[in-house]
Copies of this chain bind each other. A is one copy, B any other.
């Protein structure tokens, strides 16, 4: 199953970063874009069975370096991937948003539009970046259990 057409947006992204437009890459992009939560590495691998595992890792690593996607580890230490917002650059991410990890479905949601409070660290610690992850019950699972 080749990547569906009508993916100008994803082709542009690849173009911009001087990555060749291959089927596997377009499929990764459209898969990540299709959900409002991050996609785990095992899920990606399951869907992309026809692509070599090593190649999939190379795609993910390349995308991450270019600032196209970011990786977040869930509760279990499993890697999850999500598209970055527009302001991420090569080797300089700006993904300082909250990650919500549902303990039931295990999904990781990127809550981009949330105001985050300032932190004051102890003397000597210099903050470069931070990641805030909250575990709990997501809206979908909250409804289900009623």
Residues of A within 8 A of B (CB): 73, 77, 79, 98, 100, 103, 109, 111, 114, 116-119, 121-139, 142
Contact = CB atoms under 8 A, between A and B. Distances in A.
Nearest to A140: B124
A136 B127 contact: yes
A124 to B, nearest CB: 3
Given A77-B77, A103-B128, 9 more contacts: A73-B77, A100-B125, A109-B125, A117-B118, A121-B134, A124-B138, A130-B132, A131-B132, A132-B132
A122 B118 contact: no
Contacts of A136: 121, 125-129
Nearest to A98: B119
A116 B118 CA distance: 9
Chain A interface helix/strand/loop/mixed: strand
Contacts of A77: 73, 77, 79
Nearest to A139: B124
A133 B129 CA distance: 9
A25 to B, nearest CB: 23
A129 B100 CA distance: 10
A35 B118 CA distance: 28
A122 B111 contact: yes
A129 B118 CA distance: 19
